[in-house]
Amino acid sequence: MNTLYKKEFARILIVDDEPVNLKLLDKMLSAQGYSNLVLVQDSRQVLDVYTRQCTDLILLDINMPHLDGFAVLEQLKSLDDPLLPPVVILTAQHSQDFLLRALNAGARDFITKPFDRNELLARVRNMLDAHTAYRLVHDQKDVLDEMVQIRTDELRRTRLQVVQRLGRAAEYRDNETGNHILRMSHISALLAQSIGWNKDDCELMLHASPMHDIGKIGIPDHILLKPGKFEPEEWEIMKTHAVIGANILEGDDSDLMRCAGEIALTHHEKWDGSGYPYGLSGEAIPLTGRIAALADVFDALTSERPYKKAWAVEAAVDLIKGHSGTHFDPDLVTVFMERLPEILTIRDRFSEPKA
Protein backbone atom coordinates (compact mmCIF):
# COMPACT_ATOMS: atom_id res chain seq x y z
CA MET A 1 0.00 0.00 0.00
CA ASN A 2 1.31 3.47 -0.92
CA THR A 3 2.04 5.88 1.92
CA LEU A 4 2.95 9.58 2.11
CA TYR A 5 6.06 8.82 4.16
CA LYS A 6 9.05 6.51 4.04
CA LYS A 7 8.95 3.94 6.83
CA GLU A 8 12.66 4.10 7.52
CA PHE A 9 12.42 7.84 8.20
CA ALA A 10 9.22 7.91 10.25
CA ARG A 11 10.24 8.52 13.88
CA ILE A 12 7.90 6.70 16.25
CA LEU A 13 8.14 7.31 19.99
CA ILE A 14 6.86 4.33 22.00
CA VAL A 15 6.21 4.87 25.73
CA ASP A 16 5.35 1.94 28.00
CA ASP A 17 6.61 0.97 31.45
CA GLU A 18 6.47 -2.75 30.59
CA PRO A 19 9.67 -3.95 28.84
CA VAL A 20 7.78 -6.85 27.28
CA ASN A 21 5.35 -4.47 25.58
CA LEU A 22 8.18 -2.33 24.27
CA LYS A 23 9.94 -5.39 22.91
CA LEU A 24 6.74 -6.65 21.24
CA LEU A 25 5.96 -3.31 19.58
CA ASP A 26 9.56 -2.96 18.46
CA LYS A 27 9.43 -6.40 16.85
CA MET A 28 6.09 -5.85 15.12
CA LEU A 29 7.00 -2.47 13.66
CA SER A 30 10.58 -3.35 12.75
CA ALA A 31 9.32 -6.35 10.79
CA GLN A 32 7.29 -3.93 8.65
CA GLY A 33 10.26 -1.68 7.86
CA TYR A 34 9.91 0.93 10.61
CA SER A 35 13.51 1.45 11.68
CA ASN A 36 13.44 4.81 13.47
CA LEU A 37 11.83 3.61 16.70
CA VAL A 38 12.52 5.29 20.04
CA LEU A 39 11.60 3.19 23.10
CA VAL A 40 10.97 4.94 26.43
CA GLN A 41 10.22 2.98 29.60
CA ASP A 42 10.31 5.88 32.08
CA SER A 43 7.52 8.35 31.27
CA ARG A 44 9.45 11.16 32.97
CA GLN A 45 11.86 11.14 30.03
CA VAL A 46 9.23 11.62 27.33
CA LEU A 47 9.34 15.41 27.13
CA ASP A 48 13.13 15.51 26.90
CA VAL A 49 13.25 12.76 24.27
CA TYR A 50 10.46 14.37 22.25
CA THR A 51 12.11 17.80 22.08
CA ARG A 52 15.44 16.45 20.84
CA GLN A 53 14.18 15.45 17.41
CA CYS A 54 11.11 15.77 15.23
CA THR A 55 8.64 12.96 15.97
CA ASP A 56 5.95 11.67 13.63
CA LEU A 57 3.89 9.45 15.94
CA ILE A 58 3.64 8.67 19.65
CA LEU A 59 2.37 5.34 21.00
CA LEU A 60 1.59 6.04 24.65
CA ASP A 61 0.63 3.76 27.50
CA ILE A 62 -1.80 5.20 30.03
CA ASN A 63 -1.21 3.28 33.27
CA MET A 64 2.40 4.02 34.22
CA PRO A 65 4.22 4.97 37.44
CA HIS A 66 5.60 8.47 38.04
CA LEU A 67 3.66 10.10 35.19
CA ASP A 68 0.63 8.39 33.69
CA GLY A 69 -0.37 8.88 30.07
CA PHE A 70 -2.74 11.73 30.90
CA ALA A 71 0.07 13.68 32.56
CA VAL A 72 2.32 13.08 29.54
CA LEU A 73 -0.45 14.35 27.26
CA GLU A 74 -0.67 17.53 29.35
CA GLN A 75 3.11 18.04 29.08
CA LEU A 76 3.01 17.65 25.31
CA LYS A 77 0.03 19.97 25.02
CA SER A 78 1.83 22.66 27.02
CA LEU A 79 4.50 22.88 24.31
CA ASP A 80 2.01 24.58 21.94
CA ASP A 81 3.72 22.76 19.09
CA PRO A 82 1.76 23.44 15.86
CA LEU A 83 3.13 20.16 14.47
CA LEU A 84 2.47 18.00 17.52
CA PRO A 85 2.27 14.44 16.17
CA PRO A 86 -0.77 12.22 16.70
CA VAL A 87 -0.81 10.28 19.97
CA VAL A 88 -2.21 6.75 19.94
CA ILE A 89 -3.13 5.38 23.36
CA LEU A 90 -2.03 1.88 24.36
CA THR A 91 -4.47 0.53 26.93
CA ALA A 92 -6.09 -2.55 28.35
CA GLN A 93 -9.06 -0.43 29.39
CA HIS A 94 -12.27 -0.82 27.41
CA SER A 95 -14.70 1.49 29.21
CA GLN A 96 -16.17 4.29 27.16
CA ASP A 97 -15.54 6.93 29.87
CA PHE A 98 -11.85 6.05 29.98
CA LEU A 99 -11.43 6.19 26.21
CA LEU A 100 -13.36 9.47 25.95
CA ARG A 101 -11.13 10.98 28.62
CA ALA A 102 -8.06 10.02 26.59
CA LEU A 103 -9.49 11.41 23.36
CA ASN A 104 -10.54 14.66 25.07
CA ALA A 105 -7.03 14.97 26.51
CA GLY A 106 -5.58 15.05 23.01
CA ALA A 107 -5.16 11.44 21.92
CA ARG A 108 -6.07 10.78 18.30
CA ASP A 109 -6.71 7.04 18.48
CA PHE A 110 -6.26 4.02 20.74
CA ILE A 111 -5.04 0.44 20.49
CA THR A 112 -6.22 -2.10 23.02
CA LYS A 113 -4.02 -4.68 24.66
CA PRO A 114 -3.26 -7.43 23.88
CA PHE A 115 -2.16 -6.02 20.52
CA ASP A 116 -3.66 -7.30 17.31
CA ARG A 117 -0.87 -7.11 14.75
CA ASN A 118 -3.00 -6.11 11.75
CA GLU A 119 -4.95 -3.53 13.73
CA LEU A 120 -1.75 -2.05 15.14
CA LEU A 121 -0.07 -1.72 11.74
CA ALA A 122 -3.20 -0.25 10.14
CA ARG A 123 -3.62 2.42 12.83
CA VAL A 124 0.07 3.32 12.77
CA ARG A 125 0.00 3.61 8.98
CA ASN A 126 -3.15 5.76 8.99
CA MET A 127 -1.85 8.08 11.69
CA LEU A 128 1.49 8.54 9.93
CA ASP A 129 -0.26 9.24 6.63
CA ALA A 130 -2.51 11.82 8.27
CA HIS A 131 0.35 13.54 10.08
CA THR A 132 2.57 13.59 6.99
CA ALA A 133 -0.25 15.18 4.98
CA TYR A 134 -0.74 17.76 7.73
CA ARG A 135 2.96 18.58 7.74
CA LEU A 136 2.96 19.02 3.97
CA VAL A 137 0.03 21.43 4.21
CA HIS A 138 1.71 23.28 7.08
CA ASP A 139 5.00 23.55 5.18
CA GLN A 140 3.18 24.69 2.07
CA LYS A 141 1.37 27.34 4.09
CA ASP A 142 4.71 28.60 5.43
CA VAL A 143 6.08 28.79 1.89
CA LEU A 144 2.98 30.60 0.66
CA ASP A 145 3.08 32.98 3.64
CA GLU A 146 6.71 33.75 2.84
CA MET A 147 5.90 34.31 -0.84
CA VAL A 148 3.00 36.60 0.09
CA GLN A 149 5.25 38.55 2.45
CA ILE A 150 7.92 38.92 -0.22
CA ARG A 151 5.33 40.11 -2.72
CA THR A 152 3.79 42.46 -0.17
CA ASP A 153 7.20 43.97 0.53
CA GLU A 154 7.80 44.39 -3.19
CA LEU A 155 4.43 46.10 -3.63
CA ARG A 156 5.15 48.34 -0.65
CA ARG A 157 8.49 49.38 -2.10
CA THR A 158 6.91 49.94 -5.50
CA ARG A 159 4.12 51.99 -3.99
CA LEU A 160 6.62 54.16 -2.17
CA GLN A 161 8.59 54.68 -5.37
CA VAL A 162 5.41 55.62 -7.25
CA VAL A 163 4.24 58.18 -4.72
CA GLN A 164 7.72 59.65 -4.39
CA ARG A 165 7.92 60.09 -8.13
CA LEU A 166 4.45 61.58 -8.20
CA GLY A 167 5.60 64.05 -5.56
CA ARG A 168 8.74 64.78 -7.52
CA ALA A 169 6.67 65.72 -10.56
CA ALA A 170 5.25 68.64 -8.60
CA GLU A 171 8.62 69.53 -7.05
CA TYR A 172 10.37 69.72 -10.41
CA ARG A 173 7.75 72.11 -11.71
CA ASP A 174 8.55 74.34 -8.76
CA ASN A 175 12.32 74.15 -9.33
CA GLU A 176 12.73 72.03 -6.22
CA THR A 177 14.70 68.83 -5.98
CA GLY A 178 13.47 65.29 -5.57
CA ASN A 179 15.48 64.86 -2.39
CA HIS A 180 13.28 67.42 -0.68
CA ILE A 181 10.39 64.98 -0.56
CA LEU A 182 12.69 62.22 0.74
CA ARG A 183 13.87 64.40 3.61
CA MET A 184 10.46 65.84 4.29
CA SER A 185 8.72 62.45 4.30
CA HIS A 186 11.28 60.78 6.57
CA ILE A 187 11.18 63.71 9.00
CA SER A 188 7.38 63.46 9.00
CA ALA A 189 7.54 59.74 9.78
CA LEU A 190 10.07 60.37 12.56
CA LEU A 191 7.82 62.98 14.17
CA ALA A 192 4.84 60.63 13.92
CA GLN A 193 6.83 57.85 15.57
CA SER A 194 7.99 60.27 18.28
CA ILE A 195 4.44 61.09 19.35
CA GLY A 196 3.50 57.42 19.70
CA TRP A 197 2.10 56.41 16.34
CA ASN A 198 2.34 52.71 15.59
CA LYS A 199 4.58 51.27 12.88
CA ASP A 200 1.84 51.02 10.24
CA ASP A 201 0.68 54.60 10.72
CA CYS A 202 4.26 55.89 10.61
CA GLU A 203 4.79 54.00 7.36
CA LEU A 204 1.57 55.52 6.02
CA MET A 205 2.91 58.98 6.86
CA LEU A 206 6.16 58.14 5.09
CA HIS A 207 4.32 57.08 1.95
CA ALA A 208 1.65 59.78 1.90
CA SER A 209 3.62 62.94 2.74
CA PRO A 210 5.62 63.02 -0.54
CA MET A 211 2.40 64.05 -2.29
CA HIS A 212 1.89 67.14 -0.14
CA ASP A 213 2.43 69.59 -3.03
CA ILE A 214 1.02 67.49 -5.89
CA GLY A 215 -1.53 70.25 -6.49
CA LYS A 216 1.22 72.49 -7.89
CA ILE A 217 0.77 70.56 -11.12
CA GLY A 218 -2.39 72.61 -11.63
CA ILE A 219 -0.78 76.04 -11.13
CA PRO A 220 0.09 77.98 -14.33
CA ASP A 221 3.81 78.32 -15.03
CA HIS A 222 3.76 82.11 -15.12
CA ILE A 223 2.69 82.06 -11.45
CA LEU A 224 4.42 78.95 -10.16
CA LEU A 225 7.78 79.90 -11.68
CA LYS A 226 7.59 83.64 -11.06
CA PRO A 227 10.92 84.73 -9.49
CA GLY A 228 9.57 87.77 -7.69
CA LYS A 229 6.80 88.47 -5.24
CA PHE A 230 3.27 87.42 -6.14
CA GLU A 231 0.60 89.97 -6.82
CA PRO A 232 -2.46 89.51 -4.56
CA GLU A 233 -4.47 87.81 -7.30
CA GLU A 234 -1.50 85.58 -8.17
CA TRP A 235 -1.11 84.57 -4.54
CA GLU A 236 -4.77 83.57 -4.40
CA ILE A 237 -4.26 81.32 -7.42
CA MET A 238 -1.09 79.88 -5.90
CA LYS A 239 -2.92 78.98 -2.70
CA THR A 240 -5.40 76.87 -4.66
CA HIS A 241 -2.74 74.16 -5.07
CA ALA A 242 -3.82 72.76 -1.70
CA VAL A 243 -7.38 72.14 -2.88
CA ILE A 244 -6.18 71.00 -6.32
CA GLY A 245 -3.94 68.42 -4.65
CA ALA A 246 -6.79 67.14 -2.52
CA ASN A 247 -9.01 66.90 -5.60
CA ILE A 248 -6.35 64.94 -7.50
CA LEU A 249 -6.06 62.43 -4.67
CA GLU A 250 -9.75 62.08 -3.77
CA GLY A 251 -11.97 59.22 -4.84
CA ASP A 252 -9.70 56.41 -3.66
CA ASP A 253 -10.69 54.50 -0.54
CA SER A 254 -7.17 53.40 0.36
CA ASP A 255 -5.64 54.67 3.59
CA LEU A 256 -2.68 55.93 1.59
CA MET A 257 -4.68 58.21 -0.70
CA ARG A 258 -6.95 59.42 2.08
CA CYS A 259 -3.94 60.36 4.18
CA ALA A 260 -2.17 61.95 1.21
CA GLY A 261 -5.25 63.99 0.34
CA GLU A 262 -5.57 65.19 3.94
CA ILE A 263 -1.92 66.27 3.97
CA ALA A 264 -2.17 68.02 0.58
CA LEU A 265 -5.22 69.94 1.76
CA THR A 266 -4.06 70.99 5.24
CA HIS A 267 -0.26 71.29 5.35
CA HIS A 268 -0.49 75.06 4.77
CA GLU A 269 -2.94 75.62 7.62
CA LYS A 270 -1.45 77.35 10.68
CA TRP A 271 -1.98 76.79 14.37
CA ASP A 272 -3.34 80.33 14.88
CA GLY A 273 -5.80 80.08 11.97
CA SER A 274 -3.93 82.35 9.58
CA GLY A 275 -3.13 79.64 7.05
CA TYR A 276 -4.96 78.38 3.98
CA PRO A 277 -7.12 77.14 2.30
CA TYR A 278 -9.75 77.17 5.09
CA GLY A 279 -8.16 79.06 7.96
CA LEU A 280 -8.33 76.07 10.32
CA SER A 281 -6.71 76.50 13.72
CA GLY A 282 -5.36 74.40 16.55
CA GLU A 283 -6.47 70.79 16.72
CA ALA A 284 -9.06 71.40 13.99
CA ILE A 285 -6.09 70.94 11.66
CA PRO A 286 -5.53 67.21 11.13
CA LEU A 287 -2.41 65.97 12.88
CA THR A 288 -1.07 64.68 9.56
CA GLY A 289 -1.18 68.23 8.18
CA ARG A 290 0.47 69.71 11.27
CA ILE A 291 3.32 67.18 11.08
CA ALA A 292 3.84 67.70 7.34
CA ALA A 293 3.83 71.49 7.76
CA LEU A 294 6.68 71.40 10.26
CA ALA A 295 8.77 68.95 8.26
CA ASP A 296 8.14 70.80 4.98
CA VAL A 297 9.02 74.27 6.28
CA PHE A 298 12.20 73.14 8.02
CA ASP A 299 13.53 71.38 4.95
CA ALA A 300 12.49 74.21 2.63
CA LEU A 301 14.33 76.73 4.80
CA THR A 302 17.54 74.70 4.99
CA SER A 303 17.58 73.79 1.28
CA GLU A 304 19.07 75.86 -1.51
CA ARG A 305 16.76 76.95 -4.30
CA PRO A 306 17.41 78.85 -7.53
CA TYR A 307 15.79 81.88 -5.94
CA LYS A 308 17.38 81.65 -2.45
CA LYS A 309 20.32 80.36 -0.47
CA ALA A 310 19.91 77.68 2.17
CA TRP A 311 19.38 78.93 5.69
CA ALA A 312 21.75 77.81 8.40
CA VAL A 313 20.24 75.12 10.60
CA GLU A 314 20.45 77.39 13.62
CA ALA A 315 18.46 80.12 11.85
CA ALA A 316 15.81 77.67 10.68
CA VAL A 317 15.48 76.20 14.19
CA ASP A 318 15.11 79.72 15.62
CA LEU A 319 12.29 80.41 13.17
CA ILE A 320 10.57 77.14 14.08
CA LYS A 321 10.77 77.98 17.78
CA GLY A 322 9.69 81.56 17.14
CA HIS A 323 6.55 80.39 15.33
CA SER A 324 5.59 77.78 17.90
CA GLY A 325 1.95 78.40 18.77
CA THR A 326 1.38 80.63 15.74
CA HIS A 327 2.37 78.68 12.61
CA PHE A 328 3.20 75.35 14.25
CA ASP A 329 1.64 73.05 16.81
CA PRO A 330 3.63 73.87 19.98
CA ASP A 331 3.65 70.25 21.15
CA LEU A 332 5.11 69.16 17.83
CA VAL A 333 7.77 71.86 18.06
CA THR A 334 8.81 70.41 21.42
CA VAL A 335 9.09 66.95 19.86
CA PHE A 336 10.95 68.46 16.89
CA MET A 337 13.57 69.96 19.19
CA GLU A 338 13.96 66.68 21.10
CA ARG A 339 14.56 64.74 17.88
CA LEU A 340 16.64 67.41 16.13
CA PRO A 341 19.84 65.29 16.04
CA GLU A 342 17.96 62.51 14.20
CA ILE A 343 16.32 65.06 11.89
CA LEU A 344 19.75 66.39 10.95
CA THR A 345 20.87 62.80 10.30
CA ILE A 346 17.97 62.43 7.85
CA ARG A 347 18.99 65.73 6.26
CA ASP A 348 22.54 64.47 5.76
CA ARG A 349 21.41 61.04 4.57
CA PHE A 350 19.33 62.52 1.75
CA SER A 351 21.51 65.52 1.01
CA GLU A 352 21.65 66.90 -2.49
CA PRO A 353 24.28 65.38 -4.80
CA LYS A 354 27.17 67.65 -5.48
CA ALA A 355 27.11 69.30 -8.87
Contact indicator for 90, 59 with CB cutoff of 8 Å:
yes
Catalytic residue among 6, 113, 216, 309: 216
Between CA 90 and CA 146 the distance in angstroms is: 39
DSSP annotation of 323 reads T
Residue 51, number of CB atoms within 10 A of its CB: 12
List all residues 6 or more positions away from 37 whose beta carbon is below 8 Å from its beta carbon.
Answer: 12, 14, 25, 26, 29, 30
> Measured on CA atoms in the order 174, 176, 178, 181, is the torsion positive or negative?
negative
Dihedral angle computed from the Cα positions of residues 321, 327, 329 and 331, in that order, rounded to the nearest 10 degrees: 10
Q: Which of 38, 74, 44, 45 is nearest to 59 (CA)?
A: 38
3-state helix, strand, coil in the chain (%, to 5): 60, 5, 30
- Residue by residue, DSSP assigns 217-228 as GGS-HHHHT-SS
Does residue 306 have a cis peptide bond before it, meaning omega lies within 30 degrees of 0? no
The radius of gyration computed from the CA coordinates of the chain, to the nearest angstrom, equals: 34
DSSP annotation of 283 reads G
Between CA 31 and CA 38 the distance in angstroms is: 15
Among this protein's residues, is 216 annotated catalytic?
yes
Q: Which helix (H) or strand (E) holds 88?
A: strand 87-91
Between CA 317 and CA 333 the distance in angstroms is: 10
Instruction: Tell me which residues are annotated as active site.
Output: 216
